[in-house]
Structure 1
Amino acid sequence: MPPKTLHPPWPPAVVQGVANVLASTDWPGLTNSEITQLLAMLGIADVEAPNKRTRLWTALHNQQLRDQASNCVIRFITEAMAPGRHLQDQPRFEALRDALAEPLALVGLRVNEQGKLARGRATATTLDEVAQLAGRLRTELRRRGVHAEVVRYCEEELLRRSLFHAVFEATKGVSERLRQMTGLTADGADLVDQCFGARSGTPLVRINAYRTDSEISEHRGFANLLKGTFGTFRNPPAHTPRATAGWTITEPDALDLFSLLSLIHRRLDGAQVVARP
């Protein structure tokens, strides 16, 4: 039987990054019982710790120090990502795989479709390279400084890497924010008209002082931008099943839309809601 290949130890920060993903407090992190089972199966000494992430990080780090090799970390990831463990929850597999892309990019690895570690395109040495190699939506959104309101409305869809539904929910979030600001119950173009129209002399929502011709023109342009955004990115997904080929969106287009929605939310941050008599 050939001797087992020993892989060089990983930097402690990378091991900690892996532990933070696999033992994250919320979905899709492993449960305490799952961690217990995997550590026992792999012969990795368990430890007592105040939380799951510290427990897994300490156990893997200690074992790596004893072995002077990263084999224990590689085996733990491989077992945790075994497809058979995720038969009833494939989105969890994809979410974990997606989240592991960041720390693994720092050692030039990735989790492939079989749940095994494979060579990445390159080894990242900077945070920008991590984002590029990982190809994660959430990483890119953070890098772009996307407004928190955009992410708030599509958090689960981003975790599941569902572009179709993330775009839909993020765009719907603008309507929901306008309803919360004004107390109105309308939707879509009707909501925009009720918020930004000037039938009664003064718009209910103003993004500027609304005095000069230039300010009025900007205000109307913003209202048209909202209508165009709803018509392009919210209405088609609302009426098109995801499985059909009638409406699709690429990742670059989705990222650009999230940046546009960020601009819209930033303008709403400074908008005034005019009290009705």
Structure 2
Amino acid sequence: MTAEQMESICRTITDSSDGLTGSQIAKLLIDSKIADVDPANTKWRRLYSAFVTWQNAEKCSNNILDFLRRALQPVNYIGRESVFEHRRNEINKRLSFIGTEISDKGTLRETAKSHTISQAEERASRFRYKLTSRNVHQEIFKYCESEIRDENFFHTVFESVKSVADRLRFMSNVHADGYALADVAFAVQNPLIRINLLVTLTDKSEHLGLMNMIKGLFGLIRNPTAHTPKIKFVITEEEALDVLTVVSLVHKKLDKAL
């Protein structure tokens, strides 16, 4: 790891807005078996001095990578998912220049090296970060993990809409699909899925609105993507984010089912 790469990493992970605290740096250095040679300095210079001293003495970056892995353990970010994704995203941009990245599970893995800034930006998990920033429902990550990781927008939206159908079948115990599934699950008379008491006109409007939103997703996304080649049904990142936000809203509404 070059001095420039180490400096960039140290500046990023100690950024004053949401970076590591002084006490966190001290503990992580001890856990990573790196000497804290300059504890009185500013955070990024303190960490940079520790990294450089270690690498110059040991002629490797193993413990530095171990420090970063420990600093990005998911269990330490419960309730702060956006901080985790932002921090991991920024660190991975810099690690990509040495062919390494930290996974969403907090493990190190090899990746193709970046040689330009644009490559580093592309390799970082921007798509996941943007989805997390929108607070999309966890069902989307459950059904679309690999597609999100690969930033495969076409199959991400396809699988996300399939996740709605799968959840409706589970909740209603109706083994139908598409419009027929939505019609049976949300029938006004004797509905199998209700998100409210269906007493007032507002209740009924909300109930039918959710049904039509789901049918709209089937018609707009699932049916075309199931029958049209990927090269003829192009979905941009921005379009994928918008669709996934709607799918997320559907799942959040289903969370309220009585």
- The bucket for the TM-score relative to the shorter chain is 0.5 to 0.7
Is 1:167 the counterpart of 2:153? The answer is no
Of 230, 235, 240, 2:218 maps to 230
How many angstroms apart in 1 are the aligned matches of 2:195 and 2:207?
Answer: 6
Matches within 5 A, 1:169-208: 169-198=159-188, 201-208=189-196
How many angstroms apart in 1 are the aligned matches of 2:150 and 2:246?
Answer: 22
Of 103, 115, 120, 2:117 maps to 120
Q: CA RMSD in A?
A: 4.1
How many angstroms apart in 2 are the aligned matches of 1:102 and 1:224?
Answer: 40
Give the conservation status (yes or no) of the 8 Å contact 1:110–1:118. no
Of 245, 254, 258, 2:240 maps to 254
Q: Which amino acid aligns with 2:229?
A: P
Give the conservation status (yes or no) of the 8 Å contact 1:207–1:271. yes
1:1-60: CA deviation from partner (whole Å, max 9, x where unpaired):
xxxx9634616976xx9xxxxxxxxxxxxxxxxxxxxxxxxxxxxxxxxxxxxxxx879x
Matches within 5 A, 1:32-181: 64-68=52-56, 102-105=90-93, 115-120=112-117, 134=124, 136-181=126-171
TM-score by length of 2: 0.61
The equivalent residue for 1:220 is 208
User: Once the two structures are aligned, what percentage of the paired residues are identical?
Assistant: 36
How many angstroms apart in 1 are the aligned matches of 2:127 and 2:221?
Answer: 18
Deviation at 1:68, TM superposition (A): 4.3
The equivalent residue for 2:19 is none
Deviation at 1:167, TM superposition (A): 0.9
Of 236, 255, 258, 1:269 maps to 255
Give the conservation status (yes or no) of the 8 Å contact 1:196–1:220. yes
Distance 1:120 1:216, change over 3 A: same
Deviation at 1:206, TM superposition (A): 1.1
Moved more, 258-267 or 201-210: 201-210
SS state at 1:206 partner? coil
Give the unaligned 5+ runs of structure 2: 14-31, 35-47, 66-87, 100-110
The equivalent residue for 1:241 is 229
1:172-223: CA deviation from partner (whole Å, max 9, x where unpaired):
000100111111100110000000012xx23221111111112111211111
How many angstroms apart in 2 are the aligned matches of 1:101 and 1:212?
Answer: 47
Give the conservation status (yes or no) of the 8 Å contact 1:109–1:120. no
Give the unaligned 5+ runs of structure 1: 18-56, 78-99, 124-129, 273-277
Q: Which amino acid aligns with 2:254?
A: L
